[in-house]
Amino acid sequence: MIIVMKKDATEQHIEDVVRTVEVKGFKSHLSKGVEVTIIGVIGDERKFTEGDFILLDGVDNVIRILKPYKLASRNFHPENTVIDIEGVKIGGKEVVLIAGPCAVENEEQIMVSARRIKQEGGKILRGGAFKPRTSPYSFQGLGQEGLELLKKAKEETGLLIITEVMDTNEIDLIQKYADIFQIGARNFQNYNLLKAIGSTRTPVLLKRGFSGTIKELLMCAEYILSEGNVNVILCERGIRTFEDSTRFTLDLNAVPLLKKLTHLPVFVDPSHGTGDHELVIPMSRAAVAAGADGLIVEVHPNPKEALSDGYQTLTFEKFHVLMEEIKKIAMVLNRSV
Ligand code: PEP
Ligand code: MN
């Protein structure tokens, strides 16, 4: 249920409503928009009715949200959520580029990548330190050493850092190095991990599982939001379908659909979504045209030698072309890169 406050509701009115919600044993979540304040009431919906709140001072309307996700829904937060990380605004007018290798491999590789990504206009550096690999015999990442290298790259270039967290016991360590947590496709319904990340305030990019529906993705976001971490970015990264000519099927329907259903920023990962470096640029263009707030793309100084995901990884030259092309598309949509 959401309680929509009147435009002229005072701080005191808002405080009184929040107190009433909590006294009744429910959790409240405040969403202060430019126009109106909305208070989300979270708890067993059978235990309260609209009448419990409609007569309180300053209340304009009380609406039941029928969707299973509440805090993630646009009803609760009609305006787009914009997450500001050290001046980089995610979910706003700018299309934000996250780029970097699949995994941090060594100092030279990550530093050279960071410098080039910065030069091309990327804002955030990606690189796995703890890698979820299909085979236990494949490269598993450098662990803490990889995090140290990411930190060094940030110190030199100023790029923000995103890296994957696979387990609750890695959160404290990764939090010291990363500006954004990545929750990978294989972990998107790891509810303990979602709750633990929800209790931090570090922004998180939540990838859609490859057999996850849009509704399931939004329910996973709800886990994080309901613990109080409102800095959630959603990411479409391809799903499994009957089509096996590409690694996954990049579901671009997800972009406008998510923008309709939720206020959270929506990113697209054309690297994992296609699995093919030749498809990454066209699908990046399509993602921006479909309304994505940003892209996460794999880039490596020498993709042929990459320890993971080399075939879907762009060279620096191709990353340059990608940036040039999406700038044009963004401009048509009155956005910038
Ligand atoms: C990755 O970003 O390298 C990765 C493993 O992504 P996903 O979880 O989408 O497969
Ligand atoms: Mn990868």
Residue 116: what pLDDT? 98
Choices 3.40.50.2300, 3.30.70.1140, 3.90.190.20, 3.10.20.30: CATH for 2-63: 3.30.70.1140
CA 141 to ligand 1 centroid distance, Å: 13
Residue 210: what pLDDT? 96
Q: In 3D, which of 274, 275, 241, 236 has the Cα closest to residue 252?
A: 236
CA 111 to ligand 2 centroid distance, Å: 18
Return the best residue to mutate from 272, 300, 307, 313 for the ligand 1 pocket (most ligand atoms within 8 A of CB).
272
Residue 306: what pLDDT? 98
Instruction: Dump pLDDT digits (tens) for 103-123.
Output: 999 999 999 999 999 999 999
Instruction: Give me the mean pLDDT over the 296-308 stretch.
Output: 98
Which residue did the predictor score with more confidence, 48 or 112?
112
Residue 66: what pLDDT? 84
Q: Is the CB of 95 under 6 A from ligand 1?
A: no
CA 312 to ligand 1 centroid distance, Å: 12
Instruction: Give me the mean pLDDT over the 91-95 stretch.
Output: 98
Give the mean pLDDT of the chain.
96
Fold of 83-332: TIM Barrel (3.20.20)
Q: For residue 269, which atom of ligand 1 is closest to its CA?
A: 9
Return the bridge partners of 182, or none.
Answer: 164, 205
Q: Where are the domains of the chain?
A: 2-63, 83-332
Residue 44: what pLDDT? 82
Q: Is the CB of 100 under 6 A from ligand 1?
A: no
Instruction: Dump pLDDT digits (tens) for 307-326.
Output: 999 999 999 999 999 999 99
Q: Residue 96 in contact with residue 90, Cβ under 8 Å?
A: yes
Q: Is the CB of 237 under 6 A from ligand 1?
A: yes
CA 149 to ligand 2 centroid distance, Å: 18
Q: Band of the pLDDT at 190, cuts 50, 70, 90?
A: very high
Looking at ligand 1, which residue's alpha carbon is closest to its atom 4?
Answer: 184
Instruction: Dump pLDDT digits (tens) for 139-176.
Output: 999 999 999 999 999 999 999 999 999 999 999 999 99
Answer whether residue 177 shows pLDDT above 90.
yes
Q: Residue 104 in contact with residue 140, Cβ under 8 Å?
A: no
Residue 327: what pLDDT? 98
Residue 323: what pLDDT? 98
Answer whether residue 45 shows pLDDT above 80.
no
Q: Is the CB of 207 under 6 A from ligand 1?
A: yes
CA 315 to ligand 2 centroid distance, Å: 15
φ/ψ of 40, rounded to 5, equals -85, 135
Residue 158: what pLDDT? 98
Residues with CB under 5 Å of ion ligand 2 are 102, 309
Task: Provide CB contacts within 8 A for 253, sequence distance 6+.
Answer: none
* Secondary structure, 3-state, the chain: CEEEECCCCCHHHHHHHHHHHHHCCCEEEEEECCCCEEEEEECCHHHCCHHHCCCCCCEEEEECCCCCCCCCECCCCCCCCCEEECCEEECCCECEEEEECCECCCHHHHHHHHHHHHHHCCCEEECECCCCCCCCCCCCCCCHHHHHHHHHHHHHHCCEEEEECCCHHHHHHHHCCCCEEEECHHHCCCHHHHHHHHCCCCCEEEECCCCCCHHHHHHHHHHHHHCCCCCEEEEECCECCCCCCCCCECCCCHHHHHHHHECCCEEECHHHHHCCHHHHHHHHHHHHHHCCCEEEEEECCCHHHCCCCHHHCECHHHHHHHHHHHHHHHHHCCCEC
Instruction: Dump pLDDT digits (tens) for 228-249.
Output: 999 999 999 999 999 999 999 9
CA 82 to ligand 1 centroid distance, Å: 24
Answer whether residue 96 shows pLDDT above 90.
yes
Q: In 3D, which of 111, 85, 90, 84 has the Cα closest to residue 100?
A: 111
Q: Is the CB of 300 under 6 A from ligand 1?
A: no
Instruction: Dump pLDDT digits (tens) for 251-296.
Output: 999 999 999 999 999 999 999 999 999 999 999 999 999 999 999 9
Residue 48: what pLDDT? 82
Q: Is the CB of 185 under 6 A from ligand 1?
A: yes
Residue 150: what pLDDT? 98
Q: Band of the pLDDT at 46, cuts 50, 70, 90?
A: confident
CA 63 to ligand 1 centroid distance, Å: 38
